[in-house]
Amino acid sequence: MTVIQQKIINQKSGNKLIDNENVRALLLFLLSLGIFLLFWEVGARMKLFAKGMPTASLTITELWYWVTHPFYNNGPNDLGIGWNLLISLRRVAIGYTLASLIAVPLGILVGISQIAFKAFNPYFQLLKPVSPLAWLPLGLYIFRDSEMTGIFIITIASIWPTLTNTAFGVANVDSDYLDVSKTLGASRWRTIFKVIIPAALPNIISGLRISMGISWLVIVAAEMLLGTGLGYFIWNEWNNLYIPNILVAIFIIGIVGIILDQIFAYLEKLVSFGKQSS
């Protein structure tokens, strides 16, 4: 009895900090990061990697420089990374908003009608797997303008996940909710706005989240061919053959991607109401 109690006390107070799962995970993370950076630094100094591979310390110094000097402007080929980031974000914001404004209402419309769903689904299924970059030449031909083309590609790439998720969510609203609405004699519009759309909201937000992820993937690729933005920053540094800056840009793109995704993760949580969403 006392032995057990002692054990429990030990477990509770003893190595309390180490026993915490998050603390352990953080320690493991820091350890692996340290090993990785050390391996990188030593490997690069001993020229174990490809020729011209920068050291970890140089890359971190560059990262520090770019993060502390984000906004300067020495012409289009020497633009602070902050400006480039804002340019990319602006394109994504416009293209993504356009896509959402098309995809959500259209998805609701298609989801409500079984016939419309069956009739139009082939289009969505066909266009969904097409790489957004395939649209690039078409965009350039139609708009003859790199800015418009960038937005066009974001729009066309981020429509499909939102559209299909919205349609799916609307088409699969729990029939009990619809029965409640019917037994009360609610009008069609009231049912759509008060029942169907809120019930489908978790699916709609998941769709928007996937779309945002895709937008952020696509903008970098598209900008390599466009002329400004983070994608072009990478392309420009490739032409300069200055690898540390490419690594810096990759890191920044990743961080911004996480932030964008987390915003939507938060929104998903907000509309899940006890239901566990992935």
Partner 1 sequence: MNTSFSSNNHAVTTDSATDAQISLRHISKVFPGRGGWLNKITGQASSDFVAIEDIHLDIEHNTFVSIIGPSGCGKSTLLNIIAGLSSATSGEVIINGEIVDKPGPDRGMVFQSYALMPWMTVQDNIKFAVETVYSKMHVKQQQRVIKENIQLVGLTGAEKKRPHELSGGMRQRVGIARALAINPQILLMDEPFGALDALTRGFLQDEIERIWEQQRKTAIMITHSIDEALLLSDRIVMMTKGPAARIDEVLDVPFPRPRDRNTVENHPAYLKLKKEMEDHLYRETRAVEEAQIKP
Write out the DSSP string of 55-116: PHHHHHHHHHHHHHS---BSSTTSB-HHHHHHHHHHHHHHHHHHHHHHHHHHHHHHHH-HHH
Give the nearer residue to partner 1 in terms of CB position, either 81 or 200.
200
Q: Which is nearer to partner 1, 21 or 176 (CB)?
A: 176
- Quick one: which of 85, 201, 247, 249 contacts partner 1 (CB under 8 A)? 201
Residue 194 makes contact with partner 1 by CB under 8 A: yes
10 or 187: CB nearest partner 1:
187
User: Least CB distance from residue 18 to partner 1, whole Å?
Assistant: 35
For residues 189 and 198, give the distance between their C-alpha atoms in angstroms, rounded to a whole number: 13
Binding mask 145-184 for partner 1 (x = CB under 8 A): -----------------------------x-xx-xxxxxx
- Please give the structure tokens belonging to residue 210: 């996937």
Question: Is residue 271 close enough to count as binding partner 1 by CB under 8 A?
Answer: yes
Q: How many angstroms separate the first and last alpha carbons of the chain? A: 42
Our finding on whether 186 is near partner 1 (CB under 8 A) is: yes
Burial of 12 (0-12, 13-18, 19+ CB in 10 A): exposed
Residue 278 lies near partner 1 (rule: CB under 8 A): no
The answer to the question of residue 275 lying near partner 1 (CB under 8 A) is yes
Among 37, 58, 133, 199, binds partner 1 (CB under 8 A): 199
Q: Which two tokens stand for residue 24?
A: 């352990």
CA distances from 227 to 88, 137, 141, 223 (A): 11, 15, 16, 6
Residues near partner 1 (CB under 8 A): 174, 176-177, 179-186, 190, 194-195, 198-199, 201, 271, 273-275
